[in-house]
Amino acid sequence: MTAVLGGCGLTGGSEDVTLKLVAAEYGDSAANSSQKYWSRVADSYESNHSGVKVDVTVYSWNDVDRKVKELVDAGQAPDMAQIGSYADYAAKNLLYQADDLLSISTQADFASQLATAGRVKDVQYGMPFAASTRLLFYNKGLFSKAGLTPPQTWKDLAADAAALKAEGVSYPYALPLGPEEAQAETMQWLLSGGGGYTDSFGTYGLDSTENVATFTWLKDELVDKGLTGPVAPGKLNRAAAFSAFADGDVGMLNGHPSLMKMAKKGGVDYGMVRMPGHNGPSKYSMGVADWMTAFKQNGHARQVGEFLDFVYSEENVLDFSREYDLLPVTNSASEAMSVGERDAGLKPFLDALPQSETYPVGRTSWAEVAAAVKKHIGEAVAPGSDPARVLGGLESTATKADSRS
C-alpha cells in the first residue's frame, strides 16, 4: 500500500526531483501572501538539498479545494496539497499515510487532538498544518458603559445582552448563522450545551436532547428577545459580524485570532473569555485545523517526507503561525509561543487548544453535512420555527450521507 512496502515510487538519490505543492492563501495583502512564505521555505530547503526543487502554487480558500480536485480528477495530482479536507482522497486510497513520510519525531510533535482528527480508521492521512480555536470576544468600552462584567454562563450572557440592548448597542450578541460559516458558530454553541455534531461513539447526533435544548434556548432567550441585532441570524455571515465588531457595533461574539487584528485596527478595546456554558465557562472550545496531504501518484515518498519534516520544524511552524495569527500544530512550537512575550495575545487561544474539539473531518460525509448546516441551521432560530424539527431534518441528512460514504 505504501511506496516503501509496494516497491514503487521511490526515486533514486541521483535523480533530480521537482515536488509540486498546492497551498492555500492565508495572507490579506501582497506583503504577507502565502506565496512569499512558501518561497522562503522552498528556497531555504533547496539550498541544502541539491537535486530537489519545490514548485508551489497558491490559491485562495475559495478556489484551492476545487483546484486540487480538478488536478486529481485529471490524473495530475500534486505531490502535496495544503487544503481544507482529506477524507475523500483517503477513502479512494490516493494518499500516503503519515507513517510513510514523516520521521517519528515529527509525528510525535503534533498536538494529539489534531493528529487524532487527521485519522481515518486509526490511520493518519491528514497532517494538521494550521489551527485555530474560538473564544468569546466582548467590547470592553460597551461593557464598561453598561456596568457589565464578562459572562460566564448562558444566563449571564443573556442578561448582558439585554443590558447592552438597553444602551442602544446594535448587536448585543452577534449570532452569525448565515451560509458563510454557520457550521462554526453552531458547533461552538453545541459544545457549550454539552452536545456536538457527534456523540461519544462518533455517530452523528444533531438532534440530540442537548442540541435541541441549546437551540431552543438560543431562540427563546436571545433571538426572540431581539438581542442578536438587526440582521436575522440565518442571514448574518461571520465576515459581516467581525466587521461590525471592529466598527464598535457588537457587544459580544465568538471569534478566532484574526479578529484581534481587526479590532485593534478599528480602535476597539476588547477582552476574551471562554464561551459561557450552562453553569460556568464551557469545558470545550471549537478547534479548527487545515490539512497537509501527500498524494501517491507521483511516488516521491522519500523526498516528500524529508521536505515535510523541514516544513514542520519548530522554526518554520513558528514563522507561519506568527505571520498569520494562527495556532501552531506542534507541541514544540506551542510551548515556545506560550512563553514568548511577542505571542502574549495568542496565549488564551493556545490555552484553549488542548480542550478543543474539531469537526468530524475524518468522515467523507462531513462535507455534505456541513453544507446542509450552512443552508438550514438559521431556520432553527427563525420566528415561529421549531428547533427540534430543523435539527431532526439535519440529522436525517447526516444519517443518509453517512450511509453512502
287 sits in the region (left: phi over 0; alpha: psi -120 to 50; else beta) called beta
> Strand pairing of 171-173 and 250-255?
parallel
Query: Sign of torsion, CA 112 339 333 259?
Result: positive
**pLDDT tens per residue across span 335-380:** 999 997 889 989 999 999 988 999 999 999 999 999 999 999 999 9
**pLDDT tens per residue across span 232-277:** 999 999 999 999 999 999 999 999 998 999 999 999 999 999 999 9
Homologous superfamily of 17-132+288-352:
Periplasmic binding protein-like II (3.40.190.10)
Homologous superfamily of 133-286+362-403:
Periplasmic binding protein-like II (3.40.190.10)
Among candidate residues 8, 22, 129, the one with its CA nearest the CA of residue 77: 22
- pLDDT attached to residue 3: 33
**pLDDT tens per residue across span 170-207:** 999 999 999 999 999 999 999 999 999 999 888 999 99
**pLDDT tens per residue across span 84-113:** 999 999 999 999 999 999 999 999 999 999
**pLDDT tens per residue across span 121-178:** 899 999 999 999 999 999 999 999 999 999 999 999 999 999 999 999 999 999 999 9
Q: Please, which residues have CB within 8 angstroms of residue 300's CB and are 6 or more apart in sequence?
A: 9, 11, 17, 19, 79
Map grid coordinates 474539531 to a residue. 358
Other Cβ atoms closer than 10 A to 35: 14
Question: Three cell numbers at 147?
Answer: 456596568
**pLDDT tens per residue across span 16-34:** 999 999 999 999 888 889 9
CB 235, CB 378: distance < 8 Å = yes
Taking the C-alpha atoms of residue 287 and residue 132, their distance in angstroms, rounded to an integer, is 6
Among candidate residues 223, 147, 202, 186, the one with its CA nearest the CA of residue 361: 202
pLDDT of 14 over the 50 cut = no
Domain ranges of the chain: 17-132+288-352, 133-286+362-403
Question: What is the pTM assigned to this prediction?
Answer: 0.88
Question: Three cell numbers at 239?
Answer: 465576515
- pLDDT attached to residue 341: 87
| 17-132+288-352 matches 133-286+362-403 in fold | yes
Residue 81 β-bridge partners: 22, 293
- pLDDT attached to residue 10: 37
H or E stretch including 139? strand 135-139
* Residues of the chain above pLDDT 70, percent: 96
- pLDDT attached to residue 389: 98
pLDDT of 4 over the 80 cut = no
What's the mean per-residue pLDDT of the chain? 93
- pLDDT attached to residue 134: 95
